[in-house]
Amino acid sequence: AAQKDGVFKVMLVGESGVGKSTLAGTFGGLQGESTHDLENAEDTYERRIMVDKEEVTLVVYDIWEQGDSGGWLRDHCLETGDAFLIVFSVTDRRSFSKVPETLLWLRAGRPHHDIPVILVGNKSDLARSREVSLEEGRHLAGTLSCKHIETSAALHHNTRELFEGVVRQIRLRRGSG
């Protein structure tokens, strides 16, 4: 997808229940000008935000679960995204074990692009029900050559860092400072 005029499109990807919609909601609640009437688009959030003293329009899509594997919507996600946040829950090992397959699918679909992907271990606040350690998350991200962050969408922990981080990743790939 072409990145026009500093509009960056980010896809939230991952299994059901990992916290994608909650993460999207924290983005929607960030300060910054809301650039569209979002009344009919509860699954799309557009904000103009400042990252490293430069403004950017970030559009976050929470539409992944509406599609089936092999379906047109998944292909649409693949083509639309300038970057992908693969979210798993640190309390759900199954969601973690799905990550490599999803990432390979993304990369196979965009073979000529070095697409920015961040592996997001969400629900870091639920220490007692944790099934995936921080080290395991980091290690998998290293193996798959993508970035990694742990967040708590519930406590808004690291959520701003996540969305700023994805902007930086896209800027790096574009080769603009």
Residues that bind ligand GDP (CB under 6 A): 16-22, 122-123, 125-126, 152-154
Q: Taking CB under 5 A as the rule, which mask of x and - marks residues 142-161 in contact with Mg ion?
A: --------------------
Question: Is the CB of 17 or the CB of 109 nearer to ligand GDP?
Answer: 17
Q: 63 or 106, CB closer to ligand GDP?
A: 63
19 versus 137: smaller Cβ distance to ligand GDP: 19
**Closest-CB residue for ligand GDP?**
19
N residues, the chain? 177
The first and second tokens of residue 15, run together, are 């299994």
Long-range contacts of 158-161, Cβ-Cβ distance < 8 Å, separation of 24 or more:
158/124, 159/23, 159/26, 159/27, 160/30
Q: Which two tokens stand for residue 28?
A: 């929607």
Residue 64 or 96: the one with the smaller Cβ distance to Mg ion is 64
State the binding partner of 17 from ligand GDP, Mg ion, none, CB within 5 to 8 A by kind.
ligand GDP
Pairing of strands 147-150, 54-61: unpaired
- Least Å distance, CB 68 to ligand GDP, is 15
User: What are the two backbone dihedrals, phi and then psi, of residue 62, each rounded to the nearest 5 degrees?
Assistant: -115, 60
Give the residue with the Cβ less far from Mg ion, 22 or 169: 22
The reply to whether 21 sits near Mg ion by the rule CB under 5 A is yes
The option from Mg ion, ligand GDP, none interacting with 164 (CB < 5 to 8 A, set by class) reads none
Min dist CB 65 to Mg ion, Å, is: 6
- CA dist 46 and 129 (Å) reads 33
DSSP for 28-88 reads: HTSSSEE-S--TT-TTEEEEEEEETTEEEEEEEE--GGGS-TTSHHHHHHHHH-SEEEEEE
- Binding site residues, Mg ion, CB under 5 A: 20-21
